[in-house]
Amino acid sequence: MKTLLRNGKIFDGSGSEPFVADVLIEDDRIIKIAPNIEESAERIIDCEGLAVSPGFIDMHSHNDWFAPRENNHRFFIPFLEQGITTQVTGNCGACPFGYDKDSKYRDLVGSGIMDITKIKEDTSTLPAFAAAIKNLPVNMVPLYGHESARISVAGYDSRELTEEELKHTEEILEQALIDGAAGLSFGLMYEPDRYAPYEELRRAAAICAKHGKILTIHGRANSAVSTSYNPPVGGRAHNLRAIDEMEKLARDTGVKLQHSHLIFVGEKSWKTVDEALSIIKRLNDEGLDFKYDSYSLTFGASVITVVLPAWYLTMPKEKRSRGFAKLRLAFEIGLTKRVLGFNFNDIMMTWVAEGQETLIGKTVAQLAKEWDVSDLDAYIRLVELSEGHGLVLMHRYLTDEIVLRLMRDENCYFMTDAWIEERGMQNPSCFIGFPRFFKLARENDIPLKDIIHRMTGMAAERFVISERGALKEGYFADITVFDEKTIGPGTSDESRPQGISLVIVNGEIVVDNGKFTGKGDAGQLLLQK
Ligand SMILES: [Zn+2]
């Protein structure tokens, strides 16, 4: 089967100037790029006036959790429709494979949407996971999440592991790397990785370095103050301390390191942007391989309890409403708001509970007004109504000014860090994460070839994804065709993307005229042995 893309403006993914040419595809490969190709093809698609680029690579995804599920299309379609053809998964320390098969903790691997109990097949090894995936709509580059091994060995225990347990954990993670995982990830803000002593992390990073693979890290803090450090307030900004810790790991092991989702949560963290970027620049100047990725949007998905102190969460319900508990809570949340720099109108509900759908899409402050109660009371009511499981979009992760600064920074890569929720309101990043980078670039005179380079050639190189990320003869035909004048979010950031006409994965047309074609098995699990 041959497909000919006629007369497109070719952005080849290398960052060089575009040129007009035809692209001839045979089966899953690009076989020729030249002007006026004479050869006949079964499908000829007119791309006159349109940009033809390598398919976008989303460097930070959690879609591995959905890959082995039945009817998994809906979890992937929005990403295809925004032009993404490859996703790097297994981030933030969590992945649905690679655990002790006989572990009594098997069902605890993951958390929230990352729910291993929804996967019926054995996925205790990477080959078993690969076999459990019946069809894959996008190409997937799996990282191995360190927590999956640690949970299967010691559950959520906060203690130091014994040498025997540590060795067992390391065997599991090293096997995943040998079996083809592209690298390793840590989730240092989450249980149980947050309890891992430095030496445990150093040893895991050293194994990753030994295999020449990348380590991605969800840092211990994304804000100037956090509960990850003691005391929770004061001293060096916590998000910078989190970078210091990554720096130490990179220096001690020589591992290639990717700081996941560099964000600056809360107004008070924004003044640390300069220092964070200059540290990262200095490390690269010194010869360390230290990069980061970021969002195009200024908010991200979180849980309602994110600003709730641990003592309140563990307190029996009947005690919570007592005067003292409420006073202490009001004081602590007030303090968090002040030192972090956020408000209750920065927290938007995306899920509360069955029967509470009318609350979705509203902020805590809006609901407080509707209910005629204080912001704090509305917040507590939402925590109770959702039994602590409410989902939110948290604003003030970034500002458009910071997003633009990062987009221009040489060490920045792009990603969505989004997934489709099974209920409630979706995170707009699922639909417009990548298109919004184009809109921002267009409005702020950032060259298109540079934006495309970061989301294709640079990303492929970063994760050693071979024969992809570029339009080159002999490479896989992962291609996105779009209108450079209109690509972006629809009329609002919550809507579907616009301007994307065609998406091709391994030579198959998966999106035509902006819509999924129903071809849901064109992707491949890309293993690196
Ligand atoms: Zn993360």
- Which two structure tokens, joined as six digits, stand for 444? 């702020």
**pLDDT attached to residue 492:** 61
Cα(110) to ligand 1 centroid in Å equals 13
Q: 283 falls in which pLDDT band (50, 70, 90)?
A: very high
Cα(193) to ligand 1 centroid in Å equals 12
* DSSP output for 133-192: ----SSEEEEPEEHHHHHHHHHTT--SPPPHHHHHHHHHHHHHHHHTT--EEEEETTSTT
Q: Give the residue, 378 or 227, on which the prediction is more confident.
A: 378
Q: Helix or strand or coil: residue 82? A: coil
Q: 357 falls in which pLDDT band (50, 70, 90)?
A: very high
Q: What is the mean pLDDT of residues 340-345?
A: 84
* DSSP output for 204-257: HHHHHHHTT-EEEEE-S-SBSS-TTSSSSSSSS-HHHHHHHHHHHHHHHH--EE
| pLDDT (tens digit per residue) in 165-193 | 999 999 999 999 999 999 999 999 888 99
* d(C-alpha 492, C-alpha 488), whole Å: 10
Q: What is the mean pLDDT of residues 270-280?
A: 96
- Which two structure tokens, joined as six digits, stand for 292? 């980061």
Cα(93) to ligand 1 centroid in Å equals 8
**pLDDT attached to residue 313:** 72
Cα(415) to ligand 1 centroid in Å equals 11
CATH number of 54-299+396-484+496-516: 3.20.20.140
Q: Which of 518, 507, 488 is nearest to 82 (CA)?
A: 488
With beta carbons less than 8 A apart as the criterion, state whether 190 and 93 touch.
yes
Cα(382) to ligand 1 centroid in Å equals 24
Cα-to-chain-centroid distance, residue 364: 26
The residues facing 333 across adjacent strands are none
Cα(319) to ligand 1 centroid in Å equals 33
Cα(71) to ligand 1 centroid in Å equals 26
Contacts of 103 (CB under 8 A, 6+ apart): 152, 153
Whether 495 shows a pLDDT value over 80: the answer reads: no
H or E element, residue 84 = strand 84-89
Cα(64) to ligand 1 centroid in Å equals 14
Q: What is the mean pLDDT of residues 388-407?
A: 92
Cα(187) to ligand 1 centroid in Å equals 7
Cα(222) to ligand 1 centroid in Å equals 10
**pLDDT attached to residue 307:** 75
Cα(31) to ligand 1 centroid in Å equals 38
Q: 273 falls in which pLDDT band (50, 70, 90)?
A: very high
Cα(379) to ligand 1 centroid in Å equals 24
Cα(189) to ligand 1 centroid in Å equals 8
* d(C-alpha 520, C-alpha 87), whole Å: 15
Cα(466) to ligand 1 centroid in Å equals 25
| pLDDT (tens digit per residue) in 207-233 | 999 999 999 999 998 888 877 777 777
Q: Helix or strand or coil: residue 61? A: coil
Cα(92) to ligand 1 centroid in Å equals 4
**pLDDT attached to residue 339:** 75
Q: 465 falls in which pLDDT band (50, 70, 90)?
A: very high
Q: Helix or strand or coil: residue 104? A: coil
Cα(116) to ligand 1 centroid in Å equals 18
Cα(345) to ligand 1 centroid in Å equals 23
Cα(142) to ligand 1 centroid in Å equals 15
Number of continuous H segments (helices) and E segments (strands) in the chain: 16, 23
The residues facing 46 across adjacent strands are 6
Q: What distances in angstroms separate CA 62 from CA 87, 99, 202, one per listed residue?
A: 9, 17, 24
% of the chain at pLDDT higher than 90: 76
**pLDDT attached to residue 115:** 85
Cα(220) to ligand 1 centroid in Å equals 10
Lowest mean pLDDT among 2-6, 227-231, 471-475: 227-231
% of the chain at pLDDT higher than 70: 99
**pLDDT attached to residue 231:** 75
Cα(217) to ligand 1 centroid in Å equals 8
Whether 414 shows a pLDDT value over 90: the answer reads: yes
Cα(259) to ligand 1 centroid in Å equals 10
Cα(223) to ligand 1 centroid in Å equals 13
Whether 240 shows a pLDDT value over 90: the answer reads: yes
In this structure, what DSSP letter does residue 525 have? B
Cα(449) to ligand 1 centroid in Å equals 28
Cα(171) to ligand 1 centroid in Å equals 24
| pLDDT (tens digit per residue) in 90-136 | 999 999 999 999 889 988 888 767 889 889 899 999 999 999 999 99
Ranges of beta strands (E only) in 262-374 are 290-294, 300-303, 347-351
Domain borders along the chain are 54-299+396-484+496-516, 305-394
* d(C-alpha 506, C-alpha 77), whole Å: 16
Q: 79 falls in which pLDDT band (50, 70, 90)?
A: very high
**pLDDT attached to residue 327:** 82
Cα(90) to ligand 1 centroid in Å equals 10
Contacts of 208 (CB under 8 A, 6+ apart): 177, 183, 184, 214, 215, 253, 255
Whether 493 shows a pLDDT value over 80: the answer reads: no
Whether 323 shows a pLDDT value over 80: the answer reads: no
Cα(70) to ligand 1 centroid in Å equals 25
- Which two structure tokens, joined as six digits, stand for 231? 């005391």
Cα(260) to ligand 1 centroid in Å equals 6
Q: What distances in angstroms separate CA 297 from CA 142, 273, 430, one per listed residue?
A: 24, 16, 11
Q: Which residues have C-beta under 5 Å from ligand 1, the single-atom ion?
A: 92, 218
Contacts of 162 (CB under 8 A, 6+ apart): none
90: left (phi over 0), alpha (psi -120 to 50) or beta: left
Whether 314 shows a pLDDT value over 90: the answer reads: no
Cα(160) to ligand 1 centroid in Å equals 23
Average pLDDT, the chain: 93
Cα(218) to ligand 1 centroid in Å equals 5
Lowest mean pLDDT among 66-70, 295-299, 324-328: 324-328
Cα(114) to ligand 1 centroid in Å equals 12
Cα(219) to ligand 1 centroid in Å equals 8
Q: Which of 245, 406, 388 is nearest to 315 (CA)?
A: 388
Q: 311 falls in which pLDDT band (50, 70, 90)?
A: confident
Cα(216) to ligand 1 centroid in Å equals 9
Q: 342 falls in which pLDDT band (50, 70, 90)?
A: confident
What's at 304, amino acid-wise?
Answer: I
